[in-house]
A and B are shown apart, each in its own frame.
Chain A
């Protein structure tokens, strides 16, 4: 231990005066409802704290953490058990000996399957948006007119805004998070066949507003 470390240790031995009970009571009054937003559980038999003097140096809100850990552990244990059962069931069904009846059944199922229709992949049409399909083929497959569509119309529809409260940024500074909900609409029109296609896509935008610390 060098001299600075010794000095630091000596300084740490000096204990600052604890705030008085009256001051803690004042704080409680000033906090009002804001003080009761986050609560922690005390073990049975332990009394409520009247002031800082009543609290040992251990972390009191550790009870809250241990309770949530317990819940998480129970959840994981349940999920693990379910996964083990699923694996056992899968393995046992796949390792079942294949009887001649099963083999015959599988063969007949394969025979029933229709042969895959072949597409002329070499028919390359430069106007077609899909490689390997001509415009005519595309029209046949999609049952929709291929040409004659107008330019799509887009529209951004604002739905609502939600204030998600204040959080602490990694830098340690507070910020308010506001989420905007939009619906993006795209409309394709084909006047010749009086066909319209409307596509709607929900979208969210998160805005972070930095706050001063006081």
Chain B
């Protein structure tokens, strides 16, 4: 009978969501993989022997590492990295959605959200964490997290039609 390390199947289930969160938390897009690697290896070394690791722990480690790494970057570098921060969010999702106008608008709207609301939406929708787990990951209260999520959805509801309309206008102007 063949065997394989459990971490591989674990990472197959959670890797994409973790990478998405790491991309949001990192200062530079190329830093996201390093961030995820560092966080995952640290947590797996602690809990790997149990065969099952709560994804919330890795999310939490990613966030804390991102904060530490951001502190260690000097000001000049941080200024340069601001440019990298503007990398569109669509790079973090399957490119097949390029054909779907509404989905693109949805992503652009998510991108416009304030960072705090965006991370809650990411953890809730794609990370599939509960509000309690999100609160622990972000070191915030349950109420704060739930309100941020609600505000974010309200904004998305309002912005998605605007995004679709704006895109249509742009294409008309270009035409």
A residues lining the B interface (CB < 8 Å): 3-4, 7-8, 10-19, 23-24, 26-28, 30-31, 34-44, 46-49, 51-52, 54-55, 57, 59-61, 64, 165-168, 171-172, 174, 211, 213-214
Contacts and interface: CB of A to CB of B under 8 A. Distances in A.
Contact of B103 (A10, A39, A214): A10
Contacts of A48: 2, 4
Contacts of A19: 11, 15-16, 19, 33, 36
B2 A165 contact: no
B82 interface: no
Given A49-B12, A172-B56, 9 more contacts: A3-B157, A16-B17, A16-B93, A19-B19, A24-B8, A39-B6, A57-B13, A60-B4, A172-B57
A191 B13 CA distance: 73
Nearest to B153: A4
B83 interface: no
Interface string B60-91: 11001100000000000000000000000001
Contacts, number: 179
A18 B45 contact: no
B115 interface: no
A51 B9 CA distance: 9
